[in-house]
Structure 1
Amino acid sequence: MKNLGKILKSTALVMLLFFATSCSDDDNEKPVIIVDNDNIVEAAQKTSALSALVSALAKADESANNDLIAALSSEGPFTVLAPTNDAFTSLLARLDGFDSLDDFNNEQLQDLLATILKYHVVSGAAVSSSALTEGQSITTLQGENLTVSLTNGVTFTDAAGEIATVTSADVETENGIVHIIDKVLIPQEALDALSDVLLVSITDLAISVPSLSILVDALLAADGDLPTVLANDGPFTVFAPTNEAFEAFLAANNFNSLDEIPTEVLTQVLLNHVVAGTILSTDLTTGYASSLSTAGPNEANLSMFINIEDGVVINGTSTVTAADNKAINGVVHIVDVVIGLPNIVDHAVANPNLTSLVGALTADNNTTFTTLLSDSETDFTVFAPLNSAFDNFTNPSGNELNTILANHVISGAAANAASLSNTYFNTAATNADGDNLSIYVNVDDGVKLNGVSSVAAADIVATNGIIHAVDTVIDLPTVVTFATADPNFSSLVGALTAEGQPDFVSVLSTPNGTAPAPFTVFAPINDAFAALTEVPSGDVLTAVLNHHVIAGANIVSGDLSDGLTSPATLEGDTLTFTIDSDSNVTITDGSGNTEIGIIAVDVQANNGVIHAINTVMIPNTTN
């Protein structure tokens, strides 16, 4: 490289201040240049927002080949495009392995820095912004051209297609004119020299890799904004499928080309390869992340299962083959399989902590559950027992395994953890009469199901629902299960288990099909007990409690009619039901008390059904 001092004004490059190490506190303010008959270098030295430019000049001049400061202090005239401190900080961030100007620590790198700085200088003329024209090509001291645009203010486009905008124009100095710009411009010469360390956007990186050409085509064929999105600030982590991966994906789904894939589907598939944030391979852990795909229920972001037990595998199918391809706005990991949009079954199969569940669901070539939970027309909430839950489950009641598994599935609703409250849902399991069993969700302390099983990992989002991993297999509930799980029945449980009372728990836990099951229980809530002047005890309490239970019948709300008299309760008296024009059901008890309200119906257990009532019923005390 020739001595810049001899080349005269070429030193004007200095203003580029390529890799500023730090930014002034004034960087967010409009730069104020103090001229006072100063030359370009002196003006820059007095401007805090150009301190990085001054440092870059000095660093370049450490090479014996350069004398930029002297050149830009000479007679001129020059036109200088001066990047701000923020511009240099951004440029430094694009260079992998460069933390500060101190990393330009040899003559070759310092000469390269001078090359970049000269790309910001026009020698022999002081060109004002008003003299620029749309589409004009100007030759820099470095030898390459910049393209001028006046469409959105005054901008210059460099060899990489990056655009720098003039933020302060026409600052006149003793030996030229300065235009402050917001980005460091890079000539092709420097691009070639920095190819191994210059970080481009994720989009540009994909374009530059031949084996990702179909991915680039897919980005354009899907949502036309995707290339722009992945060129923006981010940061993003992208799992980028190779051409071979796309070809296999097309063949497996009977598509001849990308054009045959519905645009919305292709867009969501591509977004399912993108995670917010920069996650290098060394930062990856086994677990779930949320992709940018909104193909989940209610446009929820799909979950992505990352497994690093043997390499890096995504959703059980796609393996990272080339990790940590850094970009200015994130990182790209190249993968060998297109990551499809996972349904609930896909997520269950991908997670090694759910292998026992998958084995149970598919035992003896059973396809009932895989067919059901692959249904794309229905949303599901699945409480998925972990392997450890199955290890500890002994099935003490000998219930059918398929029915137990169905009792972990809610059909028709995708409930995330935030939407859950203390309430009942119907599961896909049914009792002997075909009534769907209930499941009680309590969120007072975490999320607990039927009082026995806690959610260990929430909100695994699939295209057709949400999985919550649980720590205990949820056995088929008895009426006792709900009484003890629901805090609204704590007073009733206290009465049932009071000293001197019969073993109601054992009786009401009787399996369905064994007398006296099934049961219909009218369960007073806590407020009903609180309204009593005095809670009875002994034989009187026994009679009262028996008056709330009908044995040998599973009477659901649909079985009730106006004027219906029930079978005898365990106490011996009957109940009478009244249904008004608004379908509200009230009960007349054995002692003639009326307007006893049913406030919640059809809490369905495997051995009976519970209806919550607002008043403690009293039997006929005269018989």
Structure 2
Amino acid sequence: MTKLLRFLLVGSFFFTILSCSDDYQGPLPYPTLIEAANDAGLTTLVTAVRAIPGLEATLQDQAAITVFAPTNEAFANALTAFGATDLNDLVAKLGGAANLQTVLGFHVVPAVAFSRNLNEENTFTTLAGQTLRVRSTPGLVTVTDAEGNVATVVQADVEIENGVVHVIDRVLIPNIDLPKPTLVEAATEAGLTTLLTAVTAVDGLANALLSAPAITVFAPTNEAFAAALQVFGASDLNELVVKIGGAENLEKVLGFHVVPAVAFSTDLGASNTFTTLSGQEITVERSGNTVTVIDQLGRTAQVVAADVEIANGVVHVINGVMLPDLMLPNIVQAAQAAGLSVLLDAVTAANLGNALLNAEAITVFAPTNEAFVAALQAFNAADLNQLVARIGGIENLQTVLGFHVVPAVAFSTDLAATNTFTTLAGQELTVTSSASGVTVTDALGNTANVVAADVAIANGVVHVIDGVLLPELDLPNVVEAAQAANLTVLLDAVTAAGLGGTLLEQEAMTVFAPTNQAFLNLLDELNLGSLQALINTLGVDAVTKVLGFHVVPATAFSFDLAEGAQEVPTLAGENLTVTRTGNNVTVTDAAGNTYNVVVANVAIENGVVHVIDGVVLPTL
């Protein structure tokens, strides 16, 4: 400052002598660096200098300085280059205030160098302690920083109190230790947008990875994720999550790409086995400059960009999505988890468990417990056993359950508006998909709603529905049931009496059907040698009445009967006494003879057959 005052005094005296004007006031003082910067509109530079405590005073106190001062546009370009939103963000990207001070000091040479003082090639040591190269050619001055970036002087020789300012068109970068990017920043820089979306979809995973002390990440490209979508038949990441079994399995897949240790490519041996964050092992092989990653299924991916250093480890970009053992539940485990206990009981009763577990690919429309309760009510059954009896036995239960299973995998996202599937029962099921949901229509036109879709299982998918679907059940008529039970004498008697059509046309009936031995016992009691002899002896009308006495014109399964004795009307016009004692049923005829039901509840098209061990006789 003393030198400047001397200069001003000498200058004033000199110009006073030369001046002919009485009102000349002498030369004006030169501005400070900050004043000159403000006058030139270099507001960002001023803000940056003042962001470092004491830096303005330090620069002002320098005996002589040359400042290469970036324009506001130069700072704006630096923000863009560092991915910063403002100066504060740039400071963070540079690694803090100390590095900002180094950057600013790199723009200041502790000596005065007007453009006319420059040689063609010049090397200056800056206040940052690093050298700066300045090249001067006629009409052009350029400055080259530590990274080889070249700035151009756009306004030279702005004189200031303690030196000179040259305005330049870019920010000069010295050798500084820039902070390493986080995993998220590195993935963003590499364009791994799908990976970032996947990590964000798992609550807390991003923070867990960012805060981990040491990680190696095998990061799939967007193209790798696109290929995985195709493999799983998914149109987007959300569908992929569904098809691999939900967010927990997505977390497992992503964790399978992360090793909780730092392994640069140069740290790898020929073959390496790492335990990942998913708890499963991944194999990494290195041959020369080629690094290959192998997953639990034996699938391979190559590292296409290695050794991207991040704040807490390293990223290797790979061209495939690696899959751990996802350990999806089987159909039984999924049903247990969903509380579908009645369905499980039905599957067990029908002995279908192994068939479903061993199927290569299945889609199961699984009724809720409430759906089965509604089905029991519709069939007037108190429990599953009664329902089985009313629908015709275990074989028909297998048909009903098989009608809920499609031998292919169909997630809800795979469905068209209307779909027709052939089920394990061999009958077609209609599935409709719309914006309001998915519905299933059975062979009788009944519709059930999917209330929980897309439960992934080991060999397919389960959709929980609110109704039991019914196929066309092949119940026998009374003649077919008698043939199946080998009741040949009864059939002969019915034929002889001409009752076949009557029985087939009954709207509802319960038949107490005597065994062949029962008829033989009756013939022995009457000392008759054949059925024809019985007909000849009693007459056709009497035989018809006997047979009608075995038929009740209503459907009564054994569990429909009240406890104790009850009289029921028959086609013979005479009541038959039927007695239930626990699970045992007997019939008593007009003469007081009592016989046992030896096979109960054979469902037929229009009712039920109970096989009895005697021929009941009406009043003849």
TM-score range, shorter chain: 0.3 to 0.5
**Structure label with greater radius of gyration:** 2
**Where is the helix percentage greater, Structure 1 or Structure 2?**
2
Q: What TM-score do the two structures reach when normalised by structure 2? A: 0.37
Q: If the length of structure 1 is used for normalisation, what is the TM-score?
A: 0.37
